[in-house]
Amino acid sequence: MTDTETFQLSLAAAETYETKFVPALFGEWAPVVVEAAGVDRGYDVLDVACGTGVVAREVAARVGPTGRVVGVDINEAMLTVARRSRPDIEWRRADVVALPFADGSFDAVVCQAALMFFPDRVAAVREMRRVLKDDGKLVIQVWAGLDAQPAYRRVVEIAARHAGPDAVDLLSSYWVMGDLDGTRNLIDDAGLALTEATTHVGTARFDSIDELVKIEVESTPLIDRIDDATYQAIIADAREALREFAAADVRVAAPIVGHIFLATRKPA
Ligand SMILES: C[S@@+](CC[C@H](N)C(=O)[O-])C[C@H]1O[C@@H](n2cnc3c(N)ncnc32)[C@H](O)[C@@H]1O
């Protein structure tokens, strides 16, 4: 996998993630994920692949001073930004397949918008299971498949028209966990019982259609495979195709669909 596919970032990119992407996209999902995990006062909770910490911050507000929140991420730049905004939360650098905690440490483990970046997803979910208490809850949030994403699907179709069919794969890393049965099987293979799977529609907010397209293209390997003329042609077509998502003002509000899976340990 390339750095782009595994989401390795510089400090500047992690800062942009926090100031731009979290409010634009990830922030509104954090309360949904934390609610699904039934996080309550005094709980011990692990946020896996925490990024800059939007979910961990939501957890901290709910568990109160008697609870424990730990955010784990493989990317030091993400953790640096997380630490700056909440030095009181415990942030640890680790790979999801080697979590630095004893078996049965947490009442809840949450993982938002990250499963698609893990090279061995069954091993990752198995490791999340290992650190759960016997009656603990695991919540995994992933984006639905491209077929279910009305705005993003159009961007990918336009990119494929201008840059060739390979563009679909290059732009698809976010959407690969959208197959509900596939993710259900993955959870089962990792030794967990699925309790609930729900689908939510969120809103991705950007200043303009150009910005939405730029973030989609520039955060994937497609940006390295196209020349400027092709890039400009993609942006020009997207301005037309996504016009309905640009409200009366200049802001864009594009639907983004996600699935939330709640699972518990299978009895041994
Ligand atoms: C799209 S971000 C999501 C961050 C955060 N959960 C949120 O909702 O804002 C994906 C995160 O997964 C992390 N990540 C990717 N592979 C990882 C791994 N093997 N172990 C731990 N974290 C990983 C990246 O560093 C990145 O912070």
CB of 188 within 6 A of ligand 1: the answer is no
Instruction: Give the residue among 56, 183, 176 at the shortest CA–CA distance from 110.
Output: 56
CB of 177 within 6 A of ligand 1: the answer is no
In the structure, what pLDDT confidence band is assigned to residue 249 with cuts at 50, 70 and 90?
low
In the structure, what pLDDT confidence band is assigned to residue 163 with cuts at 50, 70 and 90?
very high
Mean pLDDT for the chain overall: 92
Give the other-Cβ count within 10 Å of 66's Cβ. Answer: 9
Report how far apart, in Å, the C-alpha atoms of 211 and of each of 208, 215, 224, 252 are.
5, 6, 18, 9
Instruction: Give the residue among 146, 162, 149 at the shortest CA–CA distance from 237.
Output: 162
Give the other-Cβ count within 10 Å of 82's Cβ. Answer: 24
Residue/partner pairs of 240-245 with CB below 8 Å, 24 or more apart: 241/154, 241/155, 241/158, 242/151, 242/154, 242/155, 242/209, 242/212, 243/209, 245/151, 245/209
Here the tokens at position 232 are 């400009």
Report how far apart, in Å, the C-alpha atoms of 173 and of each of 3, 65, 106, 158, 184 are.
12, 38, 29, 17, 19
CB contact set of 75 (below 8 Å; sequence gap of 6+):
7, 8, 9, 14, 51, 93
pLDDT at 246: 86
Q: Give the mean pLDDT of 62-80.
A: 96
CA of 147 to the centre of ligand 1 (A): 24
pLDDT at 2: 43
Helix intervals (H) in 17-75: 29-36, 54-63
Residue 6 has pLDDT above 60, yes or no: no
CB of 6 within 6 A of ligand 1: the answer is yes
CB of 75 within 6 A of ligand 1: the answer is yes
Residue 258 has pLDDT above 50, yes or no: yes
CB of 114 within 6 A of ligand 1: the answer is yes
Report how far apart, in Å, the C-alpha atoms of 216 and of each of 63, 93, 205 are.
35, 27, 13
CA of 229 to the centre of ligand 1 (A): 32
Residue from 7, 16, 86 whose mutation best tests the ligand 1 pocket (most atoms within 8 A of CB): 7
Report the phi/psi class of residue 60: left, alpha or beta, with left for phi > 0 and alpha for psi in -120 to 50: alpha
Report how far apart, in Å, the C-alpha atoms of 9 and of each of 15, 51, 112 are.
10, 10, 17
Per DSSP, the three-state class of 198 is strand
pLDDT at 248: 60
Give percent helix, percent strand, percent coil of the chain, each to the nearest 5.
45, 25, 30
CB of 141 within 6 A of ligand 1: the answer is no
Would you give the DSSP letter of residue 193? E
CA of 78 to the centre of ligand 1 (A): 8
Convert 69-122 into a string of H (helix), E (strand) and C (coil).
Answer: EEEEECCHHHHHHHHHHCCCCEEEECCCCCCCCCCCCEEEEEEECCHHHCCCHH
CA of 236 to the centre of ligand 1 (A): 31
CB of 49 within 6 A of ligand 1: the answer is yes
Number of the ligand 1 atom closest to the C-alpha atom of 96 = 20
